[in-house]
Each structure stands twice: as C-alpha cells, then as structure tokens.
C-alpha cells in the first residue's frame, strides 16, 4: 500500500482488512488527521475513484479493488508510541467474534484527543490476530458489552444485524428525578452538531434522525441528594448519545453525565462516591453472525455502581 501524499495522487489496494467495507469508512480509517468533512467532500466531488470509476460514500469495496485518492494534507503525528497491550474481561469468544466487558473511562478507539482505545490495545495484546475490528461503539464513560469482529464476514453480518434491529441491546441508567411510567416508548429525532469549541453534541430536533428508546422502570429512591430512578433502556435504534440525550431532554439526565447532565448534582454525587456516569451496557441478545445459535450475553453492574445503589437504598427516605 502506498503512503498517502499531500502533493500527488495515491493509489490504495484493498486488502483483507478492507474487503466488504464501505469506502467512506475505509478512507476515514486511513486518512487519520484529515477532517471527516473533507473526506466526504472528495467523495462527493468524484476525486476518489475505484477501479477508475466514481464511487459514492456507501460503495462497498472488494478484495483487490484499486482506490484513487487525491492529494490530501494529513496532520503530522505527534506521538508514534504504540498503544500499551491490554486484555479485557471476555464475556464470550469464538473464531468469529469477541465480546468484552469494557470498563468506564476507556475509549473504544483512538481519536478526538485520545491516543488509543480498546481496539488498539487489544491488537497490541494479540499480535497474532489477523483481524480485529469494532462492530459498534460505546461512549468512553459507558461500561459494559462491546462486540469485536475477528472475521470480516462476521463483522459485515453484525453491522447488518445492528442496522436491521436484530440485536436486543439493554442498558441500565440511573437518572435524576422520580420516573413514573413502568414502560415508556420515547421517539424523539436526534441531530448531531458541533459546539463553537468543535466538540460533538446531539440534540432533539425535527431535522434529526428517527430515534427510539424503550424505558422500563427498575427502582426509585428519595434521598438527601434528591430523587433518583433506575431505568432499563432498550435501544430500538442506535444513534450517537441516544440514551443520554433522550433522558436529558425529558428532564431526567443521567447522573454523572458530563455533557448533558446536571453538573451541580454531579459534583455533589462525586463527594458521595459516584465518580463516573451511571450508564452500563448490561445485556445483549443476538443471532450468532456465522452460526445457528442465539447468543444471550450479560455484563454485571460494575462494583462502583452497585455500591452507589446500595448507598441510595440506605438513604431512601420514602415512607
């Protein structure tokens, strides 16, 4: 594979790791340091070509395809230190995929001010692995189940399953306030935007993408810090920050959320022992991407979150 150039056209040959991938994702992975908006601009303009023909952003690449990339200016790397190898708690693993229990505070991949994440560390810990790719994402401060494909065929099928809604994903979220409904369907469209500082955010907007969360009440407490509710949230769609924004918009922000939460309450709860966002990817049910069996996966609530729930129970002032 040729090195990318800021002065001349570069040709990239699609290998095993790129076969079956959309061309926009293929380029975003290889054009580190190039703004995402610029990658999509060169795709729209026709400057990127596959086997001499124009390609739209959703074009899927095949093994051996030749991709023409126009001159691009790539930000120079400031740190070439490899990610430290790290294994994570494995919930399930076979020849097709790995499911880990991701701890809070660890990004799933490098970028946006983070040098490395789960996928880079796992690749360093498993140098013999020919293929390791994220099947989906979790926010940095969210803990719980994360799927990683070990084969391109498994990854492609997992992407299809996520898109088709064939994967039952459930989270546990502790929110500020007294949630009343045992079951509630929340359908609010979500729109991504950038803050003046360039940070990615999401808000409810009629111009956004359709988004559907299903909330089930698990518990409720009245304490000296205020009222709190524990919800199980099922994702019918998987938009960026979906659970966090839906709940904040409804007036029930997730405790510990540093983007959409109640910041004054978060500071009080830090003193009480909660030093992270209370959002955990607790369970997942899906057909095996390359087999006949159904996978029923679970990640127990992390100890720090379990301890905080016990503290709420002891402080509960409900009569």
Helix axes 36-44, 23-30, angle to 10 degrees: 130
Cα separation, 305 vs 101, whole angstroms: 15
Whether 316 is catalytic: no
Cα separation, 245 vs 109, whole angstroms: 22
- In Å, how far are 27, 31, 39, 139, 198 from 35, measured between CA atoms? 11, 9, 7, 21, 12
Cα separation, 5 vs 116, whole angstroms: 24
- Whether the Cβ atoms of residue 42 and residue 70 lie closer than 8 Å to each other: yes
Tracing tokens 């808000």 back to the chain, one arrives at: 203
Tracing tokens 């999509």 back to the chain, one arrives at: 40
- Whether the Cβ atoms of residue 229 and residue 220 lie closer than 8 Å to each other: yes
Task: Estimate to the nearest angstrom the gap between the alpha carbon of 201 and the chain centroid.
Answer: 14
Give the CA dihedral 117, 118, 122, 125, nearest 10 degrees: 60
- Catalytic one among 65, 139, 257, 262? 139
Active-site residue set: 139
């Amino acid at each position: 594979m040729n090195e990318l150039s800021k002065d001349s056209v570069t040709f990239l040959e699609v290998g095993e790791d790129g076969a079956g991938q959309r061309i926009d994702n293929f380029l975003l992975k290889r054009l580190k340091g190039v703004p995402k908006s610029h990658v999509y601009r060169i795709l729209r303009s026709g400057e990127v070509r596959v086997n001499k023909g124009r390609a739209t952003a959703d074009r899927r690449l095949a093994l051996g395809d030749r991709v023409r990339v126009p001159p691009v200016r790539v930000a120079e790397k400031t740190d070439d230190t490899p990610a430290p190898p790290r294994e994570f708690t494995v919930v399930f693993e076979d020849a097709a995929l790995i499911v880990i229990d991701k701890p809070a505070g660890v990004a799933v991949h490098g970028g946006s001010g983070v040098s490395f994440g789960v996928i880079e560390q796992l690749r360093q810990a498993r140098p013999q692995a020919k293929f390791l790719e994220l099947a989906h994402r979790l926010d940095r401060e969210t803990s719980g189940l994360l799927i990683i494909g070990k084969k391109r065929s498994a990854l492609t099928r997992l992407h299809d399953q996520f898109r088709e809604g064939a994967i039952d994903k459930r989270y546990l979220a502790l929110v500020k306030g007294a949630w009343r409904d045992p079951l509630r369907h929340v359908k609010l469209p979500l729109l991504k935007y950038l803050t003046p500082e360039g940070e990615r955010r999401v808000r409810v907007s009629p111009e956004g993408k359709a988004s559907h969360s299903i909330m089930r009440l698990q518990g409720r407490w009245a304490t000296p810090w205020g009222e709190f509710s524990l919800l199980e949230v099922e994702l019918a769609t998987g938009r960026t920050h979906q659970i966090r924004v839906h709940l904040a918009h409804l007036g029930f922000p997730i405790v510990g959320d540093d983007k959409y939460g109640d910041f004054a309450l978060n500071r009080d709860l830090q003193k009480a022992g909660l030093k992270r966002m209370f959002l955990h990817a607790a369970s997942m049910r899906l057909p095996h991407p390359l087999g006949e069996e159904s996978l029923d996966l679970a990640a127990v609530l992390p100890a720090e979150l379990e301890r905080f729930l016990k503290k709420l129970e002891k402080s509960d002032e409900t009569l």
